[in-house]
Amino acid sequence: MLWLALFLPRLPLDARPDLPSAAACRPPQPRAVVELDRVLVADEAAQAAGVVPGLRLASARARLPELVALPRDPAQEAAALARLACWAGSFTSEVSLAPPATLLLELSSSLRLFGGVEALSARIVNEVLAQGFSVQPALAPTPLAAQWLAFAARPAAAGFPAVAECANNAYFVCRDLAALPLQLGTLPLSLLDLGEDRQARLAAFGARTLADVLALPRAGLARRVGAGFAADLARALGERPDPRPRFAFPEHFREAIELPARCENAPALAFAARRLIAALCGWLAVRAAGIHECVLELRCERGSAATPALTLALTFAAATRDPARIARVLDERLARLQLPAPVESLCLRADAVEALAGQTTSLFAAAGSNSRDRSGDTATGVAELVERLQARLGEQCVYRLVAVSEHRPEKATQKAAFQLAQRAHAKRRKATPAGAGEPAHGAVPAPAAASLGARPLCLLPEPQALAEQGGRPQRGGPLRLVAGPERIESGWWDEGEPGAVGDVRRDYFIALSARAEWLWIFRSDAGWFLHGLFA
């Protein structure tokens, strides 16, 4: 067993995501969370001005008049911790909460997948930091030892042997159970989360570090300090089992986040939404699932029914649980959004979840990416491209073309929504291409080329009338008819339907203009028309 404890020392403050726009346009405002008229947690700017935890609010205001004092909100802290637990599901299924502010992840079964303990723990810590939490991590073979080590935070400067560095953040690493007493021994007792009276009693024994306590006879210690403390010691050292309740991942994903200040700038919301997306992806990983669509609700102006929540539906070409991909699509949507009113909270929900297997890595470690399945790879690459283009340009602007066997040229090309190639292939017989009308169910991949006359590469959306002089069509001079006629007629069955071509009677010719353009023109009752270009 290998437990990674993530202690979040500033959770009351970090639970409210700071908006980057606020930091960008003004000097960062010092913030502190206040409980019972005393400062509980203060950020760096406030601490630099001497606002330390435990200070009275009045004194803090005297030192730093512009201090933003926020009331403590335990519900929000718990929600933030639960969101982080959801996010941690992308690394391990064994996640456990240790309230008020610690998260425990069991990593031993994930090491191989993520490339070793150093790589995995560094990645986890970096992602926590990227979500805007400050964190004190620690790795230990038992959960309680990891918790204590994380709580103790900065390793003593006196050359602690097993320390890893991550993001300028040194933290305890202890993987060996036998070495645990030695490692724990260096911790001062004052750092442990013991009660006041226990601290005083142990200090009366002359014990200042855990090593001093461990040197004492265990039975006597249990009698004099309490059985609970002795049992904790035994759990921390792995002498007693320490079962932890697993974090129960919610059945449906619906997470909301309150913004610390009303936000009028849509792109600035992306940062707050990152946390929701991270939680969603972890939650999906635990269920081995992916989403085709998720909905981000932007709630404006608390309590006013006049402005309903703004919903952004993010759609994906293929089921996904890649946070970077979801975030890219969201960024494109937010960049184009005009907020009707300042936003107060965000809510992300995923209604339709579908199974999505994880990626299989190759049995033999391959150096390059050649070993990966190329066709599957390219399809997901293009799917991501389609999502980004659609998010920016609108869904109707990005499409595939389907050739339909239909004699009227206007109907022979139909736009189809993007599908992954494998699925399109499997369903080709049955599926109706999206966006196609009712005759699309006779859609065939491509009519045999021989059965069809020459067709132009570009077809004008509307036939253009051509002038006629002496019975010859004109376009920059008389047109020379090279081939034809090809009679295309009839179509009474969809006459009168909106957007339909209807009944036609046309004789098509291939014509060459004096300017060397190859044109597809037709003659109908109304005269000559240009219909296509052999570009």
Partner 1 sequence: MPAAVHLDDILARADVWRGDALAAAPQPGVASGFAELDAELPGGGWARGALTELLPTRTGVGELSLLLPALAQVSEDELAWVVCVAPPHPLHAPALAQGGVALERLLVVGAPGRDAAWSCARALATEGVGAVVAWLPAADATLLRRLHLAAEGSRALFFVFRPGACAATASPAPLRLQIDGEGEQLRVSILKRRGGGRPAPLSLAIRRPASLAAAGAQAQPPAASPVARIGAGRRAAPPAASSDSSSRPASPHALACPVPAAPAARRAS
Closer residue to partner 1 (CB): 313 or 516: 516
Is residue 203 at the binding interface for partner 1, with CB under 8 A as the rule? no
Is residue 324 at the binding interface for partner 1, with CB under 8 A as the rule? no
Site string for partner 1, 375-394 (x = CB under 8 A): x-xxx-xx-xxx-xx--xx-
Three-class DSSP category at 414? strand
Is residue 440 at the binding interface for partner 1, with CB under 8 A as the rule? no
Least separation, in Å, of the C-beta of 145 and partner 1?
45
Radius of gyration of the chain (CA): 34
Is residue 177 at the binding interface for partner 1, with CB under 8 A as the rule? no
| Calpha distance 482→418 (Å, rounded) | 38
Site for partner 1, residues 91 to 150, rule: CB under 8 A: none
Residue 263, phi then psi, degrees to nearest 5 = -120, 125
Is residue 534 at the binding interface for partner 1, with CB under 8 A as the rule? yes
- What angle (nearest 5°) sits at the alpha carbon of residue 423, between those of residues 417 and 425? 95
Closer residue to partner 1 (CB): 303 or 476: 476
Closer residue to partner 1 (CB): 133 or 509: 509
Block residue for tokens 């097993």? 162
For the stretch 457-461, contacts whose Cβ atoms lie closer than 8 Å and that sit 24 or more positions apart, written own/partner, are: 457/532, 457/533, 457/534, 457/535, 458/532, 458/533, 458/535, 459/409, 459/410, 459/413, 459/520, 459/531, 459/532, 460/530, 460/531, 460/532, 460/533
Closer residue to partner 1 (CB): 165 or 377: 377
Least separation, in Å, of the C-beta of 473 and partner 1?
7
Q: Are 289 and 90 in contact (CB under 8 A)?
A: no
| Calpha distance 14→136 (Å, rounded) | 13
Closer residue to partner 1 (CB): 179 or 401: 401
Is residue 322 at the binding interface for partner 1, with CB under 8 A as the rule? no
Q: Are 17 and 70 in contact (CB under 8 A)?
A: no
Least separation, in Å, of the C-beta of 526 and partner 1?
4
Is residue 468 at the binding interface for partner 1, with CB under 8 A as the rule? yes
Is residue 409 at the binding interface for partner 1, with CB under 8 A as the rule? yes
Is residue 159 at the binding interface for partner 1, with CB under 8 A as the rule? no
Quick one: tokens of 303?
A: 């309590």
Stretch binding partner 1 (CB under 8 A), from 103-111, 303-311, 355-363, 451-459:
451-459
| Mode of pairing for the β-strands spanning 458-465 and 353-355 | unpaired
Is residue 449 at the binding interface for partner 1, with CB under 8 A as the rule? yes
| Calpha distance 271→246 (Å, rounded) | 29
Q: Are 198 and 226 in contact (CB under 8 A)?
A: yes
The DSSP call for residue 36 is: T
Is residue 452 at the binding interface for partner 1, with CB under 8 A as the rule? yes
Q: Which of 132, 185, 342, 456 touches partner 1 (CB under 8 A)?
A: 456
Q: Which of 62, 458, 493, 497 touches partner 1 (CB under 8 A)?
A: 458
Q: Which of 304, 397, 442, 499 touches partner 1 (CB under 8 A)?
A: 397
Q: Which of 217, 358, 442, 470 touches partner 1 (CB under 8 A)?
A: 470
Q: Are 118 and 313 in contact (CB under 8 A)?
A: no
Is residue 402 at the binding interface for partner 1, with CB under 8 A as the rule? yes
| Calpha distance 263→517 (Å, rounded) | 56
Closer residue to partner 1 (CB): 132 or 456: 456
Q: Are 139 and 174 in contact (CB under 8 A)?
A: yes
Site string for partner 1, 479-518 (x = CB under 8 A): -xxxxxxxxxxx----x-----xxxxxxxxxx-xx-xxxx
Q: Which of 162, 191, 417, 424 touches partner 1 (CB under 8 A)?
A: 424
Closer residue to partner 1 (CB): 45 or 420: 420
Q: Which of 62, 324, 401, 426 touches partner 1 (CB under 8 A)?
A: 401
